[in-house]
Amino acid sequence: MPAVVVVGVQWGDEGKGKVVDLLARDNDIIVRFGGGNNAGHTLLVGDERTVLHLIPSGVLHQGKICVIGNGVVIDPEVLVAELSALRRRGYLTDDACLKISDEAHVIMPYHKAIDLARERLRGKGAVGTTGRGIGPTYEDKMARTGIRVVDLLEEGTFREKLERNLEEKNIYLRSILKEPGMEFGAIFDAYRQHADRLRRYVTDTALYLHDAIRDGRRVLFEGAQGTMLDVDHGTYPYVTSSNTVSGAVCAGAGVGPASFQSVIGICKAYTTRVGNGPFPTEEQGAIGERLRESGDEFGATTGRPRRCGWFDAVLVRQAGRLNGLTGIALTKLDVLTGLDPLRICVRYRVGAQQFDTVPASTRVLERAIPEYEEMPGWTAPLRGARRLADLPPTARRYVARLEELTATPFTIVSVGAEREETIVLD
Ligand code: IMP
């Protein structure tokens, strides 16, 4: 049975948690394949709000297998805490329901210290990272000095790698970043404890997924962050340090491209961004504030207020192409209730030049003026809608126009945070 990939198509926080939770019902295995605990996937079931940072969003369905693939960077302290909190609530009580790749890289305390210190030193030019050590961990992976989960489990290997890395990192921390160095003993002891706690879940997840797909099990791959944060295709350098596009699933989970049948893009009915970098349709005044309040646009990981603005069809169309989307799940349509008129960016203008794609130059993108189409809004609440026909005519026209501009069929329209507040089209 071919597999499905779900990715964010804007700057993250599109509502992947809710959609993956919904799709998880029809799948056996849910897999994270990139990013780390910079992600915060929020799920609302009844009165229970769950924010997941590392464990896939299928975890609230009993009996589903959750896999953390090799492309994820893992902070073991965060994973142990998340796991314990879920187990206290009755989830993941069966150890066989969680599988962690032996090849995933481990976030170390020096990665977090380097991330935070660099951001401080960059001042106004800061990326606005989540401070979780994501970038420095991926750097070490590429530099071939990283520590993998399998290394963490082997006491001798871990000792050797930690000693060697600390020697270098302490010089960098002290001399270049003017930060205190770190002691071997405390890190070693704490990480050995985490290793003992996690050992039972560690396996060759690429092999597990290969066999599962071969045996016809249904597998859902859950992307993290959004396409515009992709290190190659996003608004570099204001991006995360991994590939977030759908293609990353192959390397990040160890599964060949022929296994995939569909790619679903999660897309908010407006646009948000956390952290710094260009954002052509940003609204810094009352409309931005209104979207932030109605959409509860505060980071699930850091609590930072998200920057908010109008729907940008230029970047969603680009994301559609980069990901090879076969469908879009439109989220948070209900947040637009009461705004009139609504605006949709259809192209950018920079001086006399027009852009139908996102320019690679940061300087050009910073100067991009959005060209808007206006559409009438609606005032009726949408949360009760379960079919497109239940939506006010102006909301239906707005959805239809977005579908036309993004050139991708919409498969889901979400009208509220709860599981059932959803219109399923396909
Ligand atoms: P890092 O991934 O912590 O290095 O942060 C790099 C950029 O990506 C910053 O602008 C972060 O705000 C942004 N970012 C990272 N993860 C997420 C996410 O899950 N949602 C939204 N933005 C994110």
Mean per-residue pLDDT, 137-162: 98
What pLDDT digit, counting tens, does each position of 13-49 carry? 999 989 999 999 999 999 999 999 999 888 888 888 8
CA gap 80, 92 in Å, rounded = 12
For ligand 1, atom 20, the nearest C-alpha belongs to: 12
What is the model's pLDDT at position 1? 58
Whole-prediction pTM: 0.96
77: its two tokens: 């302290």
**Model confidence over 112-127: pLDDT tens digits?**
999 999 999 999 999 9
The CA distance from 356 to 344, in Å, is 13
Structure tokens at 412: 């889901």
Give the CA angle between residues 320, 314, 12 to the nearest 5°: 65
**Ligand 1 binding pocket includes 37 (Cβ within 6 Å):** no
- Kind and range of the H or E run holding 207: helix 205-214
Tokens representing 87? 């187990």
pLDDT in tens, 228-245: 999 999 999 999 999 999
**Residue 364 CB neighbour total at 10 angstroms:** 16
Report the C-alpha gap between 377 and 398 in whole angstroms.
8
**Average pLDDT of the segment spanning 122-140:** 96
What does the pLDDT look like over 257-293, one tens digit per residue? 999 989 999 999 999 999 999 999 999 999 999 999 9
Which of 6, 53, 115, 129 best tests ligand 1's pocket when mutated (most atoms within 8 Å of CB)? 129
Average pLDDT, the chain: 96
pLDDT tens for residues 157-208? Answer: 999 999 999 999 999 999 999 999 999 999 999 999 999 999 999 999 999 9
DSSP 74-130: E-HHHHHHHHHHHHHTT-S-SGGGEEEETT-EE--HHHHHHHHHHHHHHGGG-----
Indicate the pLDDT class of residue 321, thresholds 50, 70 and 90: very high
Q: For residue 265, report the distance from its CA to the centre of ligand 1, in Å.
A: 18
Q: What number of other Cβ atoms are within 10 A of residue 375's Cβ?
A: 17
Which of 227, 274, 302 has most ligand 1 atoms within 8 Å of its beta carbon, as the pocket-test mutant? 274
State the closest ligand 1 atom to the C-alpha of 275, by its place in the atom list counted from 1. 10
CA of 178 to the centre of ligand 1 (A): 25
Instruction: Encode pLDDT of 61-79 as tens digits.
Output: 999 999 999 999 999 999 9
Q: Looking at the DSSP assignment, which residues form a beta bridge with residue 359?
A: none
Q: Distance between CA 131 and CA 113 in Å, rounded?
A: 8
Angle of CA points 314, 319, 320, to nearest 5°: 100
Cα separation of the two ends of the chain: 18
Confidence tier at 355 by pLDDT (50, 70, 90):
very high
Q: What is the pLDDT of residues 401-421, one digit of tens each?
A: 999 999 999 999 999 999 899
Q: How far is CA 303 from CA 37, 73, 120, 300, in A?
A: 14, 21, 18, 6
Q: Which two tokens stand for residue 370?
A: 């959005």
- Decide if pLDDT at 301 tops 90: no
**What is the DSSP pairing of strand 342-350 with strand 353-355?**
antiparallel
Please identify, by atom number, the ligand 1 atom nearest to the C-alpha of residue 129. Answer: 5
Q: Which protein residue has the closest C-alpha to ligand 1 atom 12?
A: 275
Distance separating alpha carbons of residues 16 and 8, to the nearest angstrom: 7
Tell how far the Cα of 384 is from the centroid of ligand 1, in angstroms: 32
Region of 351 on the Ramachandran plot (φ > 0 left; ψ -120 to 50 alpha; else beta):
left
Binding site membership of 422 for ligand 1 (Cβ less than 6 Å):
no
Confirm or reject: Cβ of 12 under 6 Å from ligand 1.
Answer: yes
Residue 318 Cβ contacting ligand 1 at under 6 Å:
no
Q: Is 244 helix (H, G, I), strand (E, B) or coil?
A: coil
Q: Is 41 in the pocket of ligand 1 (CB under 6 A)?
A: no
List residues with catalytic annotation.
13, 41
Helical (H) or strand (E) element with 287:
helix 286-294
User: Which ligand 1 atom is nearest residue 130's CA?
Assistant: 3
